[in-house]
Structures are given as C-alpha cells and as structure tokens.
Amino acid sequence: MQTFNSFVDKMDERVGDGLERVLCAHHRRRLRGLGWGAVLDSAGAQDPLGGRAPVRDGNRVEVLIDGEESLPAVAEAIRGAKSYVHIANWHASADFRLTREPGSPTLRELLAEVAGRGVEVRVLLWAGPPFPAFQPSRKLARSERRKFTEGTDVRCVLDARERTLHCHHEKLVIVDDAVAFVGGVDLTALEGDRHDSPDHPPRPIGWHDLMARLDGPVVADVADHFRRRWTEVAGEDLPAPTVPDPVGGSRVQLLRTVPNDTYDFLPKGEFTVLDGYLRALRSAQRLIYLENQFLWSPEIAEVLLDKLLNPPHEAFRVVLLLPRKPSNGSDTTRGQLGRLLDADDGHHRLLATTISAHDGGSAAPVYVHAKLGIVDDSWLTVGSANLNEHSLFNDTEVNIATDDPEVVRATRLRLWAEHLGHPVAELADRDPADIVDNLWRPLAEEQAERERRGERRTHRLVLLPGASRRAARLQGPLRGLLVDG
C-alpha cells in the first residue's frame, strides 16, 4: 500500500508540475502579447519601487490594522467631506455601520447626510456574477444600489465589465482629492463581519484585515483611477483630480491589476501588482513576510522556492500568515505550501501559520483577509490583491507600495505584536530572524502539538494545519487553466 501511495504521489506531483508549467507559459505569452512580458523576467534582483508604475514623493502612509482602526477612520473622513466622496468596492451594504457606537448611522444614512449638504457622493460596485453561482449575486447588487439611491442624492453605479468568472475586487475610498484609503476592507458584512480588533475576542468568526490611509500626491493617482472607471461605466465626465501638496516623507506607488480588453483607458491592461510583488520578492535578502487570503500563484511560489533553495543570507526567513480555511482554494494553497516545505527541507527558513481568537477558555477562527507583503523592512505593499491568478491577472485590484523603512518596520512590529501577544517594545530591538526562530516558531509548534494531542490551545498563533506535501496539487493548475487564465 505504501508503494502504491508513493507512486500516486509521484504521478500527482509530475502532472501538477506539468500543468503549472503550461499555466505559466500561457501567462507569459499573454503578457508578452500585451507588452507586459518584462514583468515575468527573472534576471536577478530589481529595485522594488521600479517598474512602470509612477513613484510619488512627499506622502504620508498610515497602515490601519483591523476594522476597529480602519472603519472609524473612513467614517471620519466621509463625515468631514466638503467636495466629494468616491467609493469603489467589491460589494457594499446600505445597512452596514462603520462604527458600532449606539446611534451610529448606517452607510446609507452617512452617505445620504453628506450628499444632502451638497457633497457629490459616487459609489462604484461590482455588478455581481452573470449567473448566481456565488455572492454578491446581481440581484443583491441591484437591491443594494436601490437602497443607496432611493430618496437620497447618492449616485451608485454597478460595473459588469468583469472578465468571465472574475470580479471588480478593489476597495477604495477617496475624499476631496485630499485623502484616500486603499486596502482589503469591504464595506459589508457579506461573507464575514469586518468589525474586529487586534485582540480578536472569540466570536462566530474573527476578521483580520488591513487598510492604508494616504495623504499627499499619491492621492491623485487613486482619485484618477476611480475617475477613469467611473467615466466609462457611468458615462459621466469628471474633472482630473488636483494633486495635493507634499505632506510627508514617504515614496508611494499605486499598483494595479486591470485586465486587458476591460476598459478603453487601459486596453492592454495593467499588471503592476504582479510586477511590484515579483520585484520585491526577488530583491529579498533577509525577510519575506506575507499576510494573505490565498497563496495560489505559481509565479509567486517560484520566487519563494528559489529563495528557499538558494537563501541569500543565513538569517533569511519566510513567514506566512494565511487563513486556516480559505473561502475557496484551500487545497491549492496547501499544495503550494507543500512545495515550499520541500524546498525548505527542514532548514526552518519557512514558517506557515494561522491565527484564531482565544481567551484561554474558548476559541474561534479568525479569517485572515489581509493582503500585505513586507520585504527586509524596506518595502511594503497593502491593498486588495490576493496572491492568486484572479488578483494578479484577471480581477481589478489596487494596492499601494512604499519603501519608507519607518513605515514598513513600524507596521511589521505592530502586526507581529498582535499575532505573538508581545508588546512592540519587546520586539523592537530584536532581529527578525531571532523573533521568528525563538518566538513565532516555538509558539506555533507548541499550539499545533496541543491540537494534535487533543488539548486546549493557550495561544492564538498555530502552525497552518494540513500543510501536506501533496494536498491536491492538481487543483491549483487546473483552476488556473480553466478559470484564471
């Protein structure tokens, strides 16, 4: 029986590798035909903030962690609007409340109040899939549009220009050409309640997510992206945004995925999210830290594999924070993890973890919905893009990236303090590899061992379960060929 299983494993591995090669070749041909072939060139390390996305100086970047911090900041900005509020989202619910204080308004009430005093409010939402295979259905999207607009001065338009089986996934809020929010937080409770705190108290399902607040010249890039989509979908010309004055010391790039043949303003598409990730990951010397909902992409996995097989430094580490059970694609994620574990080969350079809500007496899952990458405390990206073929090739997505080391390091320390349960001050003077080896790994392994023995967990952090070296590796390549290509 063992010989037979070994044979099946080997055949599964070979067929999976072959299908992934076919998928990667397909993506390479597609991007070359569109003039984006250089994105996939793998010749050495590159400047993470290079590429074809413009770099804006003079910005202020604040990474807002979890709904407790991000949603009230959005509410405050909307409430203070003087000229306009523009929102683009995968889905938004009229009855969603940005804050949970008694008497806090619903999103519809907040937008209607702002629009009622003469502020132009525009909401651009995905229209939903053309057939009711998953949420938000087109019926639900139309219903929410009516709720936002009936009896108000709010304009809400549904965008149905998605590629087949894909969506408009970006999450943006822009106010008055002055401030923009870019991240992974949807303004809805559909498929999960976005309100949560870094403490992640046990509840039906916790929700870990991130959003970046931007001030400075890069706000004009976010505003212009919304303007161009709105103009094509709504048929309303909007003035070009005013570029804000410099307000800080951060260089920032706006990174996008816009699939080809979707909009007239980018007929050959844009793939700078993929470009940004590949440039940064290839440049990594000591640390790659990824929080993401998915890890499917063979293009991303290949760079990680190369780094693990040829570590650039003895202290090089890769730390992954993924959900225990993604909404879909979990087998694919585990399959890529299996490849990475094989490449690590027991050297303990790779650590794959997840988190749960835990108070010592009860526990509940925390859904990792964040989309964050950190490299060497010198590059950070946050936005709406997952590390799968949907986000890197076929959905509309918006991320930002910065190489401001103070912002990057402060964000990493805050996140690691949250997940490890240690104050930032205890982590600040320690090398990342030391923290990974002597805090992250022992905690995660201890909790995994407790689970294996059927004992109660005592900490939120745990090794990602089911990281099999097989784990249905065929699902990822097949999904890519049939859906993501």
Rounded to 10 deg, the angle between the 330-344 and 298-309 helix axes is 20
Q: Token match 């816009």: residue? A: 258
| CB-CB contact of 189 with 340 (8 Å) | no
Positions in the chain whose pLDDT score sits under 50: 328-331, 468-471
5-26 pLDDT, tens digit per residue, is: 566 667 767 777 788 888 899 9
262-283 pLDDT, tens digit per residue, is: 999 999 999 999 999 999 999 9
Closest residue by Cα to residue 350 from 379, 309, 296: 309
* Rg (alpha carbons) of the chain, rounded to whole number: 22
| CB-CB contact of 84 with 119 (8 Å) | yes
DSSP bridge pairs for 401: 253, 381
Cα-Cα-Cα-Cα torsion 111, 116, 118, 123, nearest 10 degrees, comes to 30
pTM over 0.85: yes
The predicted pLDDT at position 42 comes to: 73
For each of the domains in the chain, give its residue range(s) and CATH number, in order of start.
Answer: 8-54+272-395+403-484 (3.30.870.10), 57-252 (3.30.870.10)
Distance from C-alpha of 356 to C-alpha of 322, rounded to nearest angstrom: 11
388-417 pLDDT, tens digit per residue, is: 989 999 999 999 999 999 999 999 999 999
Cα angle, residue 221 at apex, residues 245 and 91 outer, rounded to 5°: 125
| CB-CB contact of 154 with 148 (8 Å) | yes
